[in-house]
Chain A
């Protein structure tokens, strides 16, 4: 039912989603923590920028990324300067695009979670001799577990499901940048519906399973953080 190229696309998709999610957790956690705690006046502007991928057509985002990553764009020039090549139509370029594209799906649940927890648990831990990092990992991370589940799974699933951005900056190089969503598009274009069916059903079922996992885990692990 699956062609060898489909399996490769599947593998690339999973690799892309996994790497993207990992980077997003490393970047998104401090960013969300900062947003939840800062009293900066212009915080709303940054929040709007982070939320942009939610409303922007992926092709628009992809287009600007393509320009930025291309050999004449700022990022491209920077890469040339480092002696590398343009990132457009490479896997690395895809990762950069996906990180930006899925950022709100990771930052927002984390930020909500941190806001819900409030300052009190950190204050309590501070009076119990825990240093800032210590209290973040021993108090905030466990209390924000539902937020982390949601962030990881939404970030992952959303990256698996992206199409427009990938098409714009990754092109459609089999074995390099061809992901499942684009493989499905190709199958439909060439009227091989059975192959499209196989991949589509796989994505549908796995996405559904992931979301069920999020909601089930959130029920199981949520704490009543307010007394």
Chain B
């Protein structure tokens, strides 16, 4: 099941020209710099803007040469960058606004579940002007969820919030992902948000789709310029397998090995996402002993990419897992690093994203 999008629209500063599909499953990030057409694309999907082309969701056609389904007849939920709550209604009335307008048989996400998921119980009777930015956005998300959308469209829902508020909302977005089976199209220009939330990613630049795919693949592709920034990192899907109560560590398993991180309260069997910065990974030809580094993984060099005259980015592979390592060109030459060579990746630091 996919949503198939083929659209063309001339705008003042770019021409939107896209033709791609998004899986109707998990969170898909629409990622790119500001002004690249992400928001326009999302608005077109919602029917809030008109562009030439076709939009097909599963078997339903929302738009083609002859059909244009108006926004209120599309099975979407939309979360705007600013919460845009109705100021004349209380929190609960805001959430009920859409709920009242859908047929009863479609109410698969009960109000109660949405309210609990987003922790809104204490706010329900309040007027919206008394809410903080983070609270407003949580109400907006609940309001969009209860209309039981076939796809939830989120337009940089965190961009208008300060860092503290962002951190406050992030866990809710993650639980949304874990507990509800609603596909989400998430517009963002923050790599940090995307790596924490997205399962797959659609990269946009100047109105075009540059690349799309699984987040773990796209984040380690050498030919994409944003993978060569200072915080270039690999994303790894892992699973909690045990906790070490003596040293307060959490052991995780991924395709090709195991890793230990500073203990996090996650149940055994819970899936987790790890981010490993390229600058935190070094390589050795033999397995080191007598080192403080806990996580040493045997890998194979798949690609070397000269980033600048002094640094090389290595793409390292073990089974389905890819790691990035940034080393000096001098080290690469002295160790004789080349494609196909088996080395040991020493991981100095791992961030557990959830």
* Range for the number of chain A residues in contact with chain B: 20 to 34
Contacting pair A223 B71 (CB below 8 A): no
Segment 102-134 of A: residues with Cβ below 8 Å from B: 120-121, 123-132, 134
Across-interface contacts of A130 in B (CB, < 8 A):
72, 97-98, 101
Contacting pair A127 B77 (CB below 8 A): yes
Q: Does A27 contact B (CB under 8 A)?
A: no
Query: Which chain B residue shows the least CB distance to A221?
Result: B88
User: Can you list 10 A-B pairs, Cβ within 8 angstroms, ordered by A?
Assistant: A127-B72, A127-B98, A128-B147, A129-B147, A130-B97, A138-B97, A139-B86, A143-B87, A223-B87, A225-B87
Q: Does A190 contact B (CB under 8 A)?
A: no
Across-interface contacts of A139 in B (CB, < 8 A):
86, 88
Contacting pair A126 B87 (CB below 8 A): no
Across-interface contacts of A127 in B (CB, < 8 A):
46, 48, 71-72, 76-78, 98, 144
Q: Does B256 contact A (CB under 8 A)?
A: no
Contacting pair A223 B88 (CB below 8 A): yes
Q: Does B129 contact A (CB under 8 A)?
A: yes
Q: Does B261 contact A (CB under 8 A)?
A: no
Nearest Cβ on chain A to B169's Cβ, whole angstroms: 16
Q: Does B70 contact A (CB under 8 A)?
A: yes
Across-interface contacts of B241 in A (CB, < 8 A):
none
Could you say which of A124, A129, A131, A134 contacts B86, with CB atoms under 8 Å apart?
A124
Across-interface contacts of A125 in B (CB, < 8 A):
72, 86, 97
Alpha-carbon distance between A138 and B136 when the two chains are bound, in angstroms: 20
Contacting pair A126 B86 (CB below 8 A): no
Alpha-carbon distance between A134 and B98 when the two chains are bound, in angstroms: 12
Segment 206-253 of B: residues with Cβ below 8 Å from A: none
Contacting pair B87 A124 (CB below 8 A): no
Nearest Cβ on chain B to A124's Cβ, whole angstroms: 5
Please name 10 further chain A to chain B contacts, defined as beta carbons within 8 Å, in addition to the given A123-B80, A130-B98, sorted by A numbering. A123-B78, A126-B70, A127-B46, A127-B77, A134-B101, A138-B97, A139-B86, A139-B88, A223-B129, A224-B129
Contacting pair B48 A123 (CB below 8 A): yes
Segment 36-93 of B: residues with Cβ below 8 Å from A: 46-48, 70-73, 76-78, 80, 82-84, 86-88
Query: Which chain A residue shows the least CB distance to B149?
Result: A127
Alpha-carbon distance between A147 and B102 when the two chains are bound, in angstroms: 31
Beyond A129-B101, A130-B101, whether A227 also contacts B84 by CB under 8 A is: yes
- Residues of A bordering B, CB below 8 Å: 120-121, 123-132, 134-135, 138-139, 142-143, 223-225, 227
Alpha-carbon distance between A130 and B147 when the two chains are bound, in angstroms: 11
Contacting pair A224 B46 (CB below 8 A): no
Segment 104-148 of B: residues with Cβ below 8 Å from A: 129, 136, 143-144, 147
Alpha-carbon distance between A90 and B84 when the two chains are bound, in angstroms: 50
Query: Which chain A residue shows the least CB distance to B99?
Result: A128
Q: Which of A120, A125, A129, A131 has the most CB of B within 10 A?
A: A129
Could you say which of A120, A123, A129, A142 contacts B88, with CB atoms under 8 Å apart?
A142
Alpha-carbon distance between A124 and B85 when the two chains are bound, in angstroms: 8
Alpha-carbon distance between A223 and B70 when the two chains are bound, in angstroms: 28
Across-interface contacts of B101 in A (CB, < 8 A):
128-130, 134
Could you say which of A126, A128, A135, A143 contacts B143, with CB atoms under 8 Å apart?
A128
- Complex A-B, nearest 6 residue pairs according to Cβ-Cβ distance, in ascending order: A128-B98, A127-B78, A129-B101, A223-B87, A126-B71, A142-B88
Nearest Cβ on chain A to B224's Cβ, whole angstroms: 32
Query: Which chain B residue shows the least CB distance to A138?
Result: B97
Beyond A129-B72, A129-B102, A130-B101, whether A124 also contacts B84 by CB under 8 A is: yes
Query: Which chain B residue shows the least CB distance to A117?
Result: B87
Across-interface contacts of B48 in A (CB, < 8 A):
123, 126-127
Across-interface contacts of A121 in B (CB, < 8 A):
84, 86
Segment 288-309 of B: residues with Cβ below 8 Å from A: none
Query: Which chain A residue shows the least CB distance to B101?
Result: A129
